[in-house]
Structure 1
Protein backbone atom coordinates (compact mmCIF):
# COMPACT_ATOMS: atom_id res chain seq x y z
CA UNK A 1 0.00 0.00 0.00
CA UNK A 2 1.33 3.41 -0.89
CA UNK A 3 1.99 6.22 1.55
CA UNK A 4 -0.91 8.26 0.12
CA UNK A 5 -3.33 5.34 0.64
CA UNK A 6 -2.21 5.07 4.30
CA UNK A 7 -2.78 8.80 4.84
CA UNK A 8 -6.22 8.66 3.18
CA UNK A 9 -7.18 5.63 5.25
CA UNK A 10 -5.96 7.27 8.47
CA UNK A 11 -7.84 10.53 7.78
CA UNK A 12 -11.03 8.63 6.89
CA UNK A 13 -10.81 6.58 10.09
CA UNK A 14 -10.15 9.73 12.15
CA UNK A 15 -13.20 11.46 10.63
CA UNK A 16 -15.41 8.44 11.37
CA UNK A 17 -14.18 8.31 14.98
CA UNK A 18 -14.77 12.06 15.43
CA UNK A 19 -18.25 11.69 13.96
CA UNK A 20 -19.11 8.84 16.31
CA UNK A 21 -17.81 10.70 19.34
CA UNK A 22 -19.91 13.70 18.30
CA UNK A 23 -23.02 11.50 18.33
CA UNK A 24 -22.22 10.35 21.85
CA UNK A 25 -22.12 13.96 23.03
CA UNK A 26 -25.76 14.44 22.04
CA UNK A 27 -27.92 13.80 25.09
CA UNK A 28 -31.14 12.14 23.91
CA UNK A 29 -32.10 11.15 27.46
CA UNK A 30 -33.01 14.71 28.41
CA UNK A 31 -35.64 14.95 25.65
CA UNK A 32 -39.11 14.18 26.99
CA UNK A 33 -41.90 12.70 24.91
CA UNK A 34 -44.73 15.06 24.02
CA UNK A 35 -48.15 14.43 25.53
CA UNK A 36 -51.37 14.16 23.54
CA UNK A 37 -54.86 14.71 24.95
CA UNK A 38 -58.28 14.53 23.35
CA UNK A 39 -59.78 17.89 24.30
CA UNK A 40 -63.17 17.84 22.68
CA UNK A 41 -65.44 15.92 20.32
CA UNK A 42 -67.71 18.18 18.29
CA UNK A 43 -70.69 16.75 16.39
CA UNK A 44 -70.94 18.37 12.96
CA UNK A 45 -73.68 16.25 11.33
CA UNK A 46 -75.52 13.29 12.74
CA UNK A 47 -77.45 11.31 10.17
CA UNK A 48 -78.74 7.79 10.28
CA UNK A 49 -76.14 6.41 7.87
CA UNK A 50 -73.12 8.45 8.93
CA UNK A 51 -71.93 10.94 11.50
CA UNK A 52 -69.36 13.70 11.07
CA UNK A 53 -67.26 14.77 14.05
CA UNK A 54 -64.34 17.06 14.70
CA UNK A 55 -61.78 15.77 17.17
CA UNK A 56 -59.63 18.34 18.95
CA UNK A 57 -56.29 16.93 20.09
CA UNK A 58 -53.78 18.94 22.11
CA UNK A 59 -50.07 18.24 21.58
CA UNK A 60 -48.01 19.42 24.57
CA UNK A 61 -44.26 19.85 24.01
CA UNK A 62 -42.43 19.88 27.41
CA UNK A 63 -39.00 20.44 25.82
CA UNK A 64 -37.14 23.69 25.13
CA UNK A 65 -36.67 22.91 21.45
CA UNK A 66 -39.26 23.00 18.70
CA UNK A 67 -41.01 19.71 17.87
CA UNK A 68 -41.94 18.62 14.35
CA UNK A 69 -45.11 16.52 14.25
CA UNK A 70 -45.57 14.46 11.08
CA UNK A 71 -48.97 12.98 11.83
CA UNK A 72 -51.22 11.15 14.26
CA UNK A 73 -52.82 7.71 14.09
CA UNK A 74 -55.62 7.15 16.59
CA UNK A 75 -58.32 4.75 17.74
CA UNK A 76 -61.20 5.57 20.11
CA UNK A 77 -62.96 2.74 21.96
CA UNK A 78 -66.02 2.51 24.23
CA UNK A 79 -66.05 -0.60 26.46
CA UNK A 80 -63.75 -2.47 24.04
CA UNK A 81 -65.98 -1.51 21.05
CA UNK A 82 -64.13 0.52 18.42
CA UNK A 83 -65.99 3.77 17.81
CA UNK A 84 -63.61 5.55 15.42
CA UNK A 85 -60.14 5.23 13.99
CA UNK A 86 -58.13 7.21 11.53
CA UNK A 87 -55.02 9.21 10.87
CA UNK A 88 -53.88 12.71 10.14
CA UNK A 89 -50.92 13.40 7.88
CA UNK A 90 -50.67 17.10 8.68
CA UNK A 91 -47.14 18.32 9.43
CA UNK A 92 -46.71 21.15 11.93
CA UNK A 93 -44.34 22.50 14.56
CA UNK A 94 -45.00 22.86 18.28
CA UNK A 95 -42.75 25.50 19.85
CA UNK A 96 -40.70 24.64 22.92
CA UNK A 97 -42.61 24.60 26.23
CA UNK A 98 -45.94 25.15 24.48
CA UNK A 99 -49.07 23.45 23.17
CA UNK A 100 -50.79 23.26 19.83
CA UNK A 101 -54.28 22.04 18.94
CA UNK A 102 -54.66 19.53 16.12
CA UNK A 103 -58.09 19.35 14.50
CA UNK A 104 -59.12 16.11 12.77
CA UNK A 105 -62.37 15.56 10.86
CA UNK A 106 -63.87 12.10 11.28
CA UNK A 107 -66.72 10.38 9.48
CA UNK A 108 -68.04 7.25 11.10
CA UNK A 109 -71.07 4.99 10.96
CA UNK A 110 -72.50 4.43 14.41
CA UNK A 111 -75.52 2.64 12.93
CA UNK A 112 -73.65 -0.64 13.22
CA UNK A 113 -73.21 0.10 16.94
CA UNK A 114 -76.75 1.45 17.53
CA UNK A 115 -77.97 -1.52 19.59
CA UNK A 116 -74.84 -1.54 21.68
CA UNK A 117 -74.97 2.22 22.36
CA UNK A 118 -78.72 2.07 23.10
CA UNK A 119 -78.04 -0.72 25.60
CA UNK A 120 -75.37 1.40 27.28
CA UNK A 121 -77.65 4.42 27.46
CA UNK A 122 -80.49 2.43 29.06
CA UNK A 123 -78.42 2.45 32.25
CA UNK A 124 -77.37 6.12 32.47
CA UNK A 125 -75.83 5.71 35.93
CA UNK A 126 -73.51 2.88 34.88
CA UNK A 127 -69.97 3.88 33.94
CA UNK A 128 -68.69 3.43 30.41
CA UNK A 129 -64.97 2.84 29.93
CA UNK A 130 -63.33 4.80 27.11
CA UNK A 131 -59.87 4.46 25.65
CA UNK A 132 -57.81 6.56 23.27
CA UNK A 133 -54.81 4.86 21.76
CA UNK A 134 -52.58 6.02 19.00
CA UNK A 135 -49.20 6.98 17.70
CA UNK A 136 -47.82 10.51 17.27
CA UNK A 137 -45.14 10.62 14.55
CA UNK A 138 -42.40 13.17 15.23
CA UNK A 139 -39.01 14.19 13.87
CA UNK A 140 -37.63 14.54 10.39
CA UNK A 141 -34.06 13.23 10.56
CA UNK A 142 -34.56 10.96 13.56
CA UNK A 143 -38.10 9.58 13.26
CA UNK A 144 -39.71 8.89 16.60
CA UNK A 145 -43.16 7.48 17.29
CA UNK A 146 -44.75 8.36 20.61
CA UNK A 147 -47.31 5.84 21.80
CA UNK A 148 -50.50 7.31 23.23
CA UNK A 149 -52.73 5.48 25.68
CA UNK A 150 -55.36 7.35 27.65
CA UNK A 151 -58.35 5.79 29.31
CA UNK A 152 -61.00 6.59 31.84
CA UNK A 153 -64.64 6.25 32.74
CA UNK A 154 -67.63 8.39 31.94
CA UNK A 155 -71.16 8.25 33.35
CA UNK A 156 -73.72 8.96 30.58
CA UNK A 157 -76.22 10.38 33.07
CA UNK A 158 -73.77 13.16 33.94
CA UNK A 159 -73.59 14.18 30.28
CA UNK A 160 -77.33 14.18 29.60
CA UNK A 161 -78.57 17.65 30.52
CA UNK A 162 -82.32 17.15 30.52
CA UNK A 163 -82.67 13.92 32.51
CA UNK A 164 -85.93 13.24 34.30
Structure 2
Protein backbone atom coordinates (compact mmCIF):
# COMPACT_ATOMS: atom_id res chain seq x y z
CA UNK A 1 0.00 0.00 0.00
CA UNK A 2 2.76 2.45 0.95
CA UNK A 3 4.69 1.56 -2.23
CA UNK A 4 1.66 2.30 -4.39
CA UNK A 5 1.12 5.74 -2.75
CA UNK A 6 4.81 6.52 -3.18
CA UNK A 7 4.69 5.69 -6.91
CA UNK A 8 1.62 7.90 -7.29
CA UNK A 9 3.45 10.80 -5.57
CA UNK A 10 6.52 10.37 -7.73
CA UNK A 11 4.36 10.29 -10.86
CA UNK A 12 2.41 13.40 -9.84
CA UNK A 13 5.65 15.27 -9.02
CA UNK A 14 7.10 14.23 -12.37
CA UNK A 15 3.92 15.36 -14.17
CA UNK A 16 3.89 18.75 -12.40
CA UNK A 17 7.57 19.27 -13.25
CA UNK A 18 6.91 18.41 -16.89
CA UNK A 19 3.97 20.81 -17.11
CA UNK A 20 5.87 23.61 -15.37
CA UNK A 21 8.87 23.24 -17.68
CA UNK A 22 6.60 23.16 -20.74
CA UNK A 23 4.86 26.35 -19.61
CA UNK A 24 8.20 28.03 -18.94
CA UNK A 25 9.63 27.05 -22.31
CA UNK A 26 6.45 28.20 -24.08
CA UNK A 27 6.61 31.66 -22.50
CA UNK A 28 10.29 31.91 -23.42
CA UNK A 29 9.53 30.90 -27.00
CA UNK A 30 6.72 33.46 -27.21
CA UNK A 31 9.16 36.30 -26.48
CA UNK A 32 11.39 35.33 -29.41
CA UNK A 33 8.57 34.45 -31.83
CA UNK A 34 7.82 36.89 -34.65
CA UNK A 35 4.45 36.62 -36.42
CA UNK A 36 4.47 35.47 -40.05
CA UNK A 37 4.02 37.96 -42.89
CA UNK A 38 1.05 37.19 -45.15
CA UNK A 39 1.03 38.83 -48.59
CA UNK A 40 -1.62 38.75 -51.29
CA UNK A 41 0.29 38.23 -54.54
CA UNK A 42 -2.52 37.80 -57.06
CA UNK A 43 -6.29 37.80 -57.37
CA UNK A 44 -7.33 35.46 -60.15
CA UNK A 45 -10.87 35.88 -61.44
CA UNK A 46 -12.28 32.45 -62.33
CA UNK A 47 -15.92 33.32 -62.96
CA UNK A 48 -17.72 36.63 -62.64
CA UNK A 49 -21.50 36.36 -62.72
CA UNK A 50 -24.05 38.85 -61.49
CA UNK A 51 -24.89 36.99 -58.27
CA UNK A 52 -21.73 34.96 -57.71
CA UNK A 53 -18.04 35.54 -58.35
CA UNK A 54 -15.29 32.94 -58.11
CA UNK A 55 -11.74 34.02 -57.33
CA UNK A 56 -8.49 32.26 -56.58
CA UNK A 57 -6.44 34.23 -54.06
CA UNK A 58 -2.69 33.68 -54.24
CA UNK A 59 -0.84 34.17 -50.97
CA UNK A 60 2.78 34.12 -49.84
CA UNK A 61 3.48 33.48 -46.17
CA UNK A 62 6.96 34.36 -44.91
CA UNK A 63 8.45 33.00 -41.70
CA UNK A 64 10.86 35.47 -40.00
CA UNK A 65 11.81 32.93 -37.29
CA UNK A 66 14.77 30.60 -36.92
CA UNK A 67 12.54 27.53 -36.59
CA UNK A 68 10.11 26.09 -39.13
CA UNK A 69 6.46 27.13 -38.91
CA UNK A 70 3.85 24.36 -39.23
CA UNK A 71 0.65 25.88 -40.65
CA UNK A 72 -2.57 23.96 -40.09
CA UNK A 73 -4.99 26.48 -41.59
CA UNK A 74 -5.93 30.12 -41.48
CA UNK A 75 -8.84 32.49 -41.08
CA UNK A 76 -8.59 35.74 -43.02
CA UNK A 77 -10.16 38.93 -44.36
CA UNK A 78 -9.21 40.68 -47.60
CA UNK A 79 -9.95 44.30 -48.49
CA UNK A 80 -9.24 45.98 -51.83
CA UNK A 81 -9.14 49.73 -51.24
CA UNK A 82 -12.42 50.33 -49.33
CA UNK A 83 -14.13 47.20 -50.68
CA UNK A 84 -14.31 44.08 -48.51
CA UNK A 85 -13.59 41.22 -50.93
CA UNK A 86 -13.61 38.43 -48.30
CA UNK A 87 -14.92 38.94 -44.77
CA UNK A 88 -14.70 35.46 -43.24
CA UNK A 89 -12.39 33.39 -45.38
CA UNK A 90 -10.98 30.12 -44.12
CA UNK A 91 -8.45 27.62 -45.40
CA UNK A 92 -7.65 24.25 -43.89
CA UNK A 93 -4.51 23.68 -45.94
CA UNK A 94 -1.56 22.24 -44.05
CA UNK A 95 2.07 22.90 -44.93
CA UNK A 96 5.33 23.87 -43.27
CA UNK A 97 7.12 27.16 -43.89
CA UNK A 98 10.90 26.75 -43.54
CA UNK A 99 12.89 28.91 -41.13
CA UNK A 100 13.53 32.34 -42.70
CA UNK A 101 11.67 31.07 -45.79
CA UNK A 102 8.33 31.44 -47.48
CA UNK A 103 5.58 29.30 -48.96
CA UNK A 104 3.11 30.20 -51.68
CA UNK A 105 -0.41 28.78 -51.74
CA UNK A 106 -3.79 29.38 -53.36
CA UNK A 107 -7.26 29.64 -51.85
CA UNK A 108 -10.46 29.42 -53.95
CA UNK A 109 -13.14 31.91 -52.89
CA UNK A 110 -16.77 32.35 -53.92
CA UNK A 111 -18.38 35.68 -53.09
CA UNK A 112 -21.53 37.64 -53.74
CA UNK A 113 -20.51 41.21 -54.48
CA UNK A 114 -23.78 42.13 -56.16
CA UNK A 115 -24.34 45.18 -53.96
CA UNK A 116 -20.72 46.23 -54.34
CA UNK A 117 -20.42 45.56 -58.08
CA UNK A 118 -20.42 49.25 -59.06
CA UNK A 119 -17.53 50.18 -56.71
CA UNK A 120 -15.62 47.04 -57.81
CA UNK A 121 -15.96 47.93 -61.51
CA UNK A 122 -14.87 51.49 -60.72
CA UNK A 123 -11.87 50.14 -58.82
CA UNK A 124 -10.86 47.84 -61.67
CA UNK A 125 -11.03 50.70 -64.18
CA UNK A 126 -8.09 52.40 -62.44
CA UNK A 127 -5.70 50.44 -64.67
CA UNK A 128 -2.69 52.72 -64.29
CA UNK A 129 -2.67 52.94 -60.49
CA UNK A 130 -1.93 50.09 -58.07
CA UNK A 131 -4.80 48.84 -55.91
CA UNK A 132 -4.15 48.92 -52.17
CA UNK A 133 -5.07 45.81 -50.22
CA UNK A 134 -5.16 44.67 -46.62
CA UNK A 135 -5.09 41.05 -45.54
CA UNK A 136 -5.58 40.18 -41.87
CA UNK A 137 -6.54 37.21 -39.75
CA UNK A 138 -5.02 34.32 -37.83
CA UNK A 139 -2.68 31.50 -38.82
CA UNK A 140 -3.36 28.22 -37.01
CA UNK A 141 0.01 26.73 -36.15
CA UNK A 142 1.54 23.85 -34.27
CA UNK A 143 1.05 20.16 -34.17
CA UNK A 144 0.13 18.82 -30.75
CA UNK A 145 -0.45 22.13 -28.95
CA UNK A 146 -1.58 24.48 -31.69
CA UNK A 147 -2.08 28.18 -31.33
CA UNK A 148 -3.53 31.00 -33.40
CA UNK A 149 -1.10 33.71 -34.49
CA UNK A 150 -2.62 37.01 -35.69
CA UNK A 151 -1.33 38.71 -38.84
CA UNK A 152 -2.05 41.90 -40.75
CA UNK A 153 -0.39 43.16 -43.91
CA UNK A 154 -0.97 46.10 -46.23
CA UNK A 155 0.29 46.06 -49.80
CA UNK A 156 -0.51 46.91 -53.39
CA UNK A 157 -1.57 44.90 -56.41
CA UNK A 158 -0.89 46.09 -59.92
CA UNK A 159 -3.70 45.96 -62.44
CA UNK A 160 -2.17 42.82 -64.03
CA UNK A 161 -2.08 41.00 -60.70
CA UNK A 162 -5.71 41.91 -60.05
CA UNK A 163 -7.17 41.06 -63.41
CA UNK A 164 -5.37 37.78 -64.00
CA UNK A 165 -8.03 35.38 -65.15
CA UNK A 166 -8.24 31.63 -65.43
CA UNK A 167 -10.07 30.58 -68.62
**TM interval, short-chain normalised:** 0.7 to 0.9
Report the TM-score when normalising by structure 1: 0.73
2:96 to 93, 96, 109: 93
Contact 2:39/2:155 (<8 A) preserved: no
Task: Out of 134-143 and 107-116, give the one that drifted further.
Answer: 107-116
SS of 1:38 mapped into structure 2: strand
Larger Rg: 1
Distance apart, 1:154 and its partner CA: 7.5
Give, in whole Å, the separation in 2 of the partners of 1:89 and 1:25: 28
The equivalent residue for 2:108 is: 105
Count of aligned positions: 157
Give, in whole Å, the separation in 2 of the partners of 1:124 and 1:66: 39
SS of 1:116 mapped into structure 2: helix
Report the TM-score when normalising by structure 2: 0.72
1:70 to 69, 72, 81: 72
- For structure 2, the 5+ residue unaligned runs are none
The equivalent residue for 1:132 is: 135
The equivalent residue for 1:147 is: 150
Give, in whole Å, the separation in 1 of the partners of 2:104 and 2:158: 26
Please give the root-mean-square deviation of Cα atoms over the aligned residues, in Å: 3.3
- For structure 1, the 5+ residue unaligned runs are none
Distance apart, 1:61 and its partner CA: 1.6
After superposition, the Cα gap between the structure-2 partners of 1:70 and 1:25, relative to the gap in structure 1 and judged at 3 Å, is: closer
Runs of 4+ in 1 over 4 A off after TM superposition: 118-129, 152-156
Distance apart, 1:145 and its partner CA: 1.1
Where do residues 21-32 of structure 1 align in structure 2 (5 Å cutoff)?
Answer: 21-23=20-22, 24-25=24-25, 27-28=28-29, 29-32=31-34
The equivalent residue for 1:39 is: 41
